[in-house]
Structure 1
Amino acid sequence: MCGILLHYAPLKSDNHCFVDEYVEDIADGHSQRSKTTAFFDSMVPYIKSRGPDYSSLRVSSEHSTAWYSSVLSLREPFTSQSVKVGNRFILQFNGELYNQEITAHDNDTQFIVSKLQEGYHDVCQIIRQLSGEFAYTLYDLQQRKFYYGRDNVGKRSLSYHLSAITGELYISSVSGAIPGFKDCIAGVVYVYDTESKTLDDSIKLESQYFITKKLDEELTCLDSTVEQLYGMLSLAVRKRVLSIHPLHLEQSPVGVLFSGGLDCSVIAALICEQLQKYPVCRRTIELLNVGFENPRTGILPQETPDRILAKRSTKLLRKLYPEIDIRLIEIDVSYEDYLRVRPHVIKLMYPKNTEMDLSIAMAFYFASGRMGEVCDSSGNIMQSSRNGIVLFSGLGADELYGGYHKLANKSPSELKEELTRQINNIHDRNLNRDDKVIADNGVEVRYPFLDHDVIKFSTEEIPINYKVNKMILRRLASHQLSLGLISDEPKRAIQFGARSAKMTKDGNKHGTDLLS
């Protein structure tokens, strides 16, 4: 994972005077030497937080561009960012690739570099070959064009600001609350031609996903479909576990954003299965559960619904996988801490600015932080912090398998239409916000349910009636993973389970209300 910040300013002035340089492993604030803008300098700490292992600044006066990059290194060999590819390209890449050609000893950034070095310079075609979760910028030094965008689902955040008058361009993983920034649409390759000052946003990596309308009212194919889905989810989890460098797996346990509910429990169980199969990995998993002190209700963090459920689910997982060290990380957030970080989280999640977005963002921000009480199987507190830098999320299950309450009474045709809309809009509804707040803690989140092959199978092959109240996923949980009562747990949104919503006595606010 890394942070991306790019600034192109074609008009030379005292405020846009680019001085050629390339500085590695720079400290916060060093970017001021680039003489770009105050905004660029103000964004450096945000980008640095996303990649605490390494950072660099590259500036080209000839091309009137500055690139600031930060790196969280999860694969070897280590590759610094940004990368100059011969005399043709400058690349910034944030994400993880799972192409079959990439072995356990390969680096995904170098995989892209090798494609570019082969002399095959159809940039859009190279991007179409990438399988994983990523965002990128790529500058063609000869044609003077910027390419930038996100994967087809949008699992990594990327925003941009383009002046229609001057042609000045900013691209950033996170923009802060700066008016004019737009989140990139998932799966679009943006191409900005600096000569003509035109932006082409018509190039799509793939077509949209469409939910099948087929029915299996007799449930004749249910068991075989569940088995197929189980195999695909297992593979999606395996790729995301084994692509972590073994040294990290030894030192930093895999983490799961854990409410104790169906989706995250399925992911946790699948990770445990993978850790059993590959004994070279450290057999430790951390289940991260957050609870808020809510002054409106008087509920303490340890009394929240998600905390109670997480303890029950953790107990079952420990019973199923006794050889795995399963640690429940209890993250208690005081109201004072909530108020302290609130302004920072509001800036991180921009342009999202509703009460609901904030309550969800706050939950993920604290859940992905580095503090929390680690409880063993006997309830003893082992330590007061955690070490994991890779987190897994169950996001996507509701959109693929019909988990939201409002879907319960819809007809098959209505359910098909609504789920199609939700999976294609998940980049804007969830992923932009979640990646911005989680990555600020110097950790990376991975989404097995949003694996491209899982989505394709789930949208095109699973009959629509299997998706009423998540029937197919509940069956997988009970039959393939023996999750018992967890498979019957109703859907509960994180902001209500963790009690991060409606924190004040002004409890009549709606989730869609704008922040004041």
Structure 2
Amino acid sequence: MCGILLHHAGDDDLYHLKEQFLEFPEGSLSSKRCSDGSPIFNSIIPYISARGPNYSSLRVSKKYKTAWYSSVLSLRQPFTCQSIEIEERYVLQFNGELYNHEIVHNDTQYIVGLLKESAPSIPAIIKKLNGEFAYSIYDIQNGTFYFGRDTVGKRSLSYFLDENTGEFYLASVTGSQPNFIDCTAGIIYQYSTRSKKLNSDLSISSPYEIATTMDQQLTKLPNCIDGLFEHLNKAVHRRIVSIHPAHIENSPISILFSGGLDCSVIAALICKQLSNIKKEKKPILELLNVGFENPRTGMLPKDVPDRKLALSSSEILKNLYPDVTIKLVNIDVSYEEYLEYRPKVIDLMFPKQTEMDLSIAISFFFAAKGSGYTISKDGIKEKYQRKGIVLFSGLGADELYGGYHKFANKSPDDLAIELTRQINNIYDRNLNRDDKVIANNGVEVRYPFLDEEVIKFSTMEIPINYKVNKMILRKIASEKLNLATISDEPKRAIQFGAKSAKMTKDGNKHGTDILTS
């Protein structure tokens, strides 16, 4: 994973700086030593650095009037510096993980190999990629920037273009910089520095469509349970084996864990995979559970619904998977700490700026930060800091299997329309915001439910009546993973389970209200 930032100066003469390529190893203060002459570019650098703490670099080209700043979180060998100039023809920045079966080692090097082929079509290359990613590719010969996100939009990416001057910016996260536009998922954007025109007509694939097939007799249910379980299991497998073995050997895998159905299914599948990996010591899974001190309710973090549920669900998982060391990391957020970090989270999640966005984003921010404690068998609290740098998430299950309460009484046709809208809009509704706040902690999040094959199977092969209150997923939990007790748990949004919503006694606030200072 990495952070992407570039600036093309257009008609402005900002590149009085010398041609250069500066590298900043882990621990270097790159933001103190970088400048391309643009205050916007320089102000964004710290946000990009935080996403990739292992390495960062600045590339400045006077000839192309462009500066690239990249940061790297190293998860695959061989280690690959970014940005990469390829045979004086392309400059590549890649943020994410690919799961194409033909990739042997590093996924960025896989793209480099495709670009080195004779007369490659960049859109055709992008369409081959399967995973969680955002990218920028500069075609030096044609003076064209290609950029975008995967079909679902699991990595954030925003751009700003001044059509008069041709000045162009691209960044993974921008803070509260105005005028930036979040990229739509699945669009291959093309910006020509010669014509100063932006083309966004090319898509990686068509929008997802939820099938309206009904099966009132449940004759297809056993096959659907088997099929979905197989696809989910493979999705988790891909996301584990693509981590370099040294990471799994020496560091835990983490999961954003409320204790509910979606994350417990993913946690169980992770445990199944880790149990099959031969290692000298037991693998570790960190369950990251966050709770807030809420002055409005008077509730303490240890008493919030998600903490109680996580305690019971983690015990079930520990009993099922004794070959995996499962650590429930209790992350307690005091009201003072909430107030301290509130401005930072609001800045990170921009342009999202509602009360609901904040209550969700700040939960994920603290969960990913991972500063908490575990409880020993003797009941003793032991301070604990998250060690995993790969975080799993159960996001996507509600959108694919009808988990939201508002879906409960919809007709089959209306449910299909609503779920189609939800999965195609998840990049804007959730993923832009979540990736910005989570990755700021120098970690990468992976989404098995949003795997391409899982989505295709879930949208096309599963009858719509199996998606009432996530019936199909509850069946998998109880019949395939022995999570019968957890499978009965009702849906509870993280902001209500962690009590991060409505943190003040002003009871008139609504989730859709715009934030005030």
| Range into which the TM-score falls when normalised by the shorter chain | over 0.9
Aligned to 2:102: 101
Contact kept? 1:31, 1:57, Cα under 8 Å = no
CA distance in 2, matches of 1:377, 1:320: 17
* 1:425 lines up with 2:425 in the alignment: yes
Contact kept? 2:396, 2:450, Cα under 8 Å = yes
Deviations 1:80-136 (A, max 9, x none): 000111010000000000000012xx1000000000111242000000000000000
Aligned to 1:261: 260
Instruction: Give the partner amino acid of 1:156.
Output: R
The alpha-carbon deviation at position 11 of structure 1 amounts to: 2.3
CA distance in 1, matches of 2:172, 2:467: 34
Aligned to 2:164: 165
The alpha-carbon deviation at position 374 of structure 1 amounts to: 2.2
* 1:515 lines up with 2:515 in the alignment: yes
The alpha-carbon deviation at position 29 of structure 1 amounts to: 5.1
Contact kept? 2:36, 2:60, Cα under 8 Å = no
The alpha-carbon deviation at position 384 of structure 1 amounts to: 2.3
| SS in structure 2 of the partner of residue 425 of structure 1 | helix
Instruction: Give the partner amino acid of 1:130.
Output: L
Aligned to 1:500: 500
CA distance in 1, matches of 2:36, 2:263: 46
Aligned-pair identity (%): 60
The alpha-carbon deviation at position 238 of structure 1 amounts to: 0.5
TM-score using structure 1 length: 0.98
Contact kept? 2:373, 2:382, Cα under 8 Å = yes
Instruction: Give the partner amino acid of 2:294.
Output: N
| SS in structure 1 of the partner of residue 100 of structure 2 | coil
The alpha-carbon deviation at position 213 of structure 1 amounts to: 0.7
CA distance in 2, matches of 1:22, 1:379: 53
Aligned to 1:183: 182
The alpha-carbon deviation at position 344 of structure 1 amounts to: 0.8
CA distance in 2, matches of 1:232, 1:33: 45
Deviations 1:431-456 (A, max 9, x none): 00000000000000000000000000
Aligned to 1:384: 384
Q: Which shifted more, 129-138 or 276-285?
A: 276-285
Aligned to 2:393: 393
| SS in structure 2 of the partner of residue 469 of structure 1 | coil
Label 1:282 to 1:121 Cα distance change in 2 as closer, same or farther (>3 A).
farther
CA distance in 1, matches of 2:91, 2:149: 17
CA distance in 2, matches of 1:207, 1:287: 36
| SS in structure 2 of the partner of residue 503 of structure 1 | coil
Contact kept? 1:28, 1:48, Cα under 8 Å = no
Aligned to 2:483: 483
Contact kept? 1:28, 1:44, Cα under 8 Å = no
1:215-364 correspondence runs (5 A): 215-280=214-279, 282-364=282-364
Contact kept? 2:365, 2:438, Cα under 8 Å = yes
Instruction: Give the partner amino acid of 2:62.
Output: S
1:134-153 correspondence runs (5 A): 134-153=133-152
The alpha-carbon deviation at position 246 of structure 1 amounts to: 1.0
Aligned to 1:73: 74
Label 1:424 to 1:378 Cα distance change in 2 as closer, same or farther (>3 A).
farther
Instruction: Give the partner amino acid of 1:305.
Output: P
Deviations 1:48-76 (A, max 9, x none): 00000000000000000000000000000
Contact kept? 1:327, 1:376, Cα under 8 Å = no
CA distance in 2, matches of 1:506, 1:293: 16
TM-score using structure 2 length: 0.97
Q: Which shifted more, 248-257 or 18-27?
A: 18-27
Contact kept? 2:30, 2:56, Cα under 8 Å = no
Q: Which runs of 5+ in 1 are unaligned?
A: none
Instruction: Give the partner amino acid of 2:242.
Output: S
Contact kept? 1:295, 1:335, Cα under 8 Å = yes
1:454-473 correspondence runs (5 A): 454-473=454-473
Contact kept? 1:318, 1:377, Cα under 8 Å = no
Label 1:255 to 1:330 Cα distance change in 2 as closer, same or farther (>3 A).
same
Instruction: Give the partner amino acid of 2:290.
Output: V
CA distance in 1, matches of 2:457, 2:32: 46
Deviations 1:229-258 (A, max 9, x none): 101100000010111111111221000100
Instruction: Give the partner amino acid of 2:226.
Output: E
Aligned to 1:212: 211
| SS in structure 1 of the partner of residue 369 of structure 2 | coil
Contact kept? 1:19, 1:34, Cα under 8 Å = no
CA distance in 2, matches of 1:329, 1:491: 22
Aligned to 2:39: 38
Instruction: Give the partner amino acid of 1:466.
Output: Y
Q: Which shifted more, 27-36 or 371-380?
A: 27-36
* 1:47 lines up with 2:48 in the alignment: yes
Label 1:388 to 1:270 Cα distance change in 2 as closer, same or farther (>3 A).
same
Label 1:470 to 1:30 Cα distance change in 2 as closer, same or farther (>3 A).
closer
The alpha-carbon deviation at position 32 of structure 1 amounts to: 5.6
CA distance in 2, matches of 1:22, 1:115: 24
Aligned length: 513
Deviations 1:438-494 (A, max 9, x none): 000000000000000000000000000000000000000000001021001000000
The alpha-carbon deviation at position 388 of structure 1 amounts to: 0.6
Aligned to 2:403: 403
Instruction: Give the partner amino acid of 1:90.
Output: V
CA distance in 1, matches of 2:514, 2:155: 25
CA distance in 2, matches of 1:512, 1:187: 27
Instruction: Give the partner amino acid of 2:53.
Output: P
Instruction: Give the partner amino acid of 2:137.
Output: L
Contact kept? 1:283, 1:324, Cα under 8 Å = yes
CA distance in 2, matches of 1:180, 1:38: 15
Label 1:282 to 1:165 Cα distance change in 2 as closer, same or farther (>3 A).
farther
CA distance in 1, matches of 2:361, 2:15: 35
Deviations 1:337-391 (A, max 9, x none): 1111111111110111100000000000000003110234554434421211000
Aligned to 2:127: 128
| SS in structure 2 of the partner of residue 352 of structure 1 | coil
The alpha-carbon deviation at position 137 of structure 1 amounts to: 0.4
| SS in structure 1 of the partner of residue 470 of structure 2 | helix
Contact kept? 2:282, 2:325, Cα under 8 Å = no
Deviations 1:8-29 (A, max 9, x none): 002243x553431001116445
The alpha-carbon deviation at position 393 of structure 1 amounts to: 0.2
Instruction: Give the partner amino acid of 1:259.
Output: S
Contact kept? 1:253, 1:282, Cα under 8 Å = no
Q: Which shifted more, 438-447 or 113-122?
A: 113-122
The alpha-carbon deviation at position 165 of structure 1 amounts to: 1.3
Contact kept? 2:10, 2:65, Cα under 8 Å = yes
